[in-house]
Amino acid sequence: MAEDNTVHYLKDSVLAFSIGGVGIKVIAFDKNTYTGNSYDRINASGCYELHYVTGGRGTLVTDDRYCELKRGVFYAAGGGKIYRQINGGRQLTDYTLVLRVQTATELKPEFFICEDFERAEICFKNAERECLEKRHSYGEAMENSFRELIILLYRMNNARDAGRGGLRIAANEDKYCLLTDAEFITNFKELSLERLSDVLGLSVRQCQRFLMENYKMSFTEKLLQARMLKAADYLAFTAVDIQHISEEVGYGGSSYFTRNFRRYFGMTPREYRKKCRDIYNSDKI
């Protein structure tokens, strides 16, 4: 999401532990303040984002629902789930936890939301305090807070056995997905497979394998997704004309861009813009 202010508590550190035989790595723990609308967000396969709203208001939009965001709301989004946060200029704050989980299959459901999850706030605040104070064994104390949060989430999802049927095997390179997401979000106009390979420190062949294992897409397919999601943001949140949008997302002409957009979203850019305006001006938001 597009953060206006973010505190990265872990930075280059990673917490690793297991619950019921499922290997879990915490690769990011942040405290965020947002005011603007976010871009479309999609996590790598095997990655989950857990959010707890601590203040403000907004709306969470997925492909099949609208959810009001306010203090006490907790939601989790898994790999492949596209979602967007709309604030309409209002401020919203939250805690965010990014996990990679190592086991055989995808966790279900891929999206979960609930209100008044007060225990989540306690877990996040305890972890934040331990990270700031850095007392003896603070890493273990943070781990205990996150462990409790994940167990509560499993139970709320009615998982019969947290040690089986979890998520697909995650790549060993825990930061690759975060770096890849950043490149496709900010540098997609100039991005090439060779450049991404250099950023990740992998050979071209290793990079191709990494994308397929973690995103189920080739580089070309992932680049198309990045361009289409950025174009969708322009259409949803700006009045920029379609010719300019096509240039901004890396297409020389609007005709080729329109064909690709229609193939990807099942509607033309103009139809998509009208749909978004109808939705955002409705009483749902």
pLDDT tens per residue across all 285 residues of the chain: 455 688 899 877 888 888 767 788 898 999 999 887 776 777 777 788 899 999 998 888 887 678 889 999 999 888 777 888 887 778 899 999 998 887 644 455 567 888 877 888 889 999 999 888 888 888 888 988 998 888 888 777 654 343 443 333 344 455 788 788 878 887 888 899 999 999 888 899 999 999 998 888 899 999 998 899 889 888 887 888 999 999 989 888 889 999 999 999 899 999 989 888 776 665 444
15 Cβ contact partners less than 8 Å away, ≥ 6 residues apart: 25, 26, 139, 142, 143, 146
**Of 106, 126, 156, which marks where a domain is finished?**
156
Asked if residue 167 is part of any domain, the answer here is no
- Do 17 and 146 lie in one domain? The reply is yes
Question: What is the model's pLDDT at position 61?
Answer: 85
- Do 210 and 113 lie in one domain? The reply is no
Q: Which of 65, 64, 69 is nearest to 87 (CA)?
A: 69
At 12-62, the pLDDT tens digits run 788 888 876 778 889 899 999 988 777 677 777 778 889 999 999 888 888
Question: What is the model's pLDDT at position 280?
Answer: 61
- Do 57 and 126 lie in one domain? The reply is yes
Question: What is the model's pLDDT at position 54?
Answer: 93
Question: What is the model's pLDDT at position 128?
Answer: 92
- DSSP annotation of 84 reads E
Asked if residue 11 is part of any domain, the answer here is yes
- Do 131 and 266 lie in one domain? The reply is no
- Contact (CB, 8 A) for 30 and 51: no
Asked if residue 203 is part of any domain, the answer here is yes
- Do 152 and 182 lie in one domain? The reply is no
- Do 147 and 264 lie in one domain? The reply is no
Q: Over the Cα atoms of the chain, what is R_g?
A: 19
Instruction: Report the distance separating Cα 177 and Cα 175, nearest Å.
Output: 6
- What is the total count of domains within the chain? 2
- Do 117 and 38 lie in one domain? The reply is yes
Asked if residue 190 is part of any domain, the answer here is yes
Question: What is the model's pLDDT at position 220?
Answer: 94
Asked if residue 169 is part of any domain, the answer here is no
Question: What is the model's pLDDT at position 4?
Answer: 65
**In a 10 Å sphere around its CB, with 0-12 CB exposed, 13-18 middle and 19+ buried, how is residue 38 labelled?**
buried
Asked if residue 35 is part of any domain, the answer here is yes
- Do 87 and 53 lie in one domain? The reply is yes
Which residue do the tokens 């009001």 mark? 68
Asked if residue 161 is part of any domain, the answer here is no
- Do 140 and 203 lie in one domain? The reply is no
CATH code of the domain containing 195: 1.10.10.60
Asked if residue 165 is part of any domain, the answer here is no
Instruction: Report the distance separating Cα 37 and Cα 31, nearest Å.
Output: 17
- Do 129 and 197 lie in one domain? The reply is no
- Do 111 and 191 lie in one domain? The reply is no
- Do 23 and 115 lie in one domain? The reply is yes
pTM tops 0.75: no
Question: What is the model's pLDDT at position 83?
Answer: 82
CATH code of the domain containing 59: 2.60.120.10
Residue 218: domain span: 176-280
Question: Computed from CA positions of residues 263, 1, 15, 183, in that sequence, does the dihedral angle turn out positive or negative?
Answer: positive
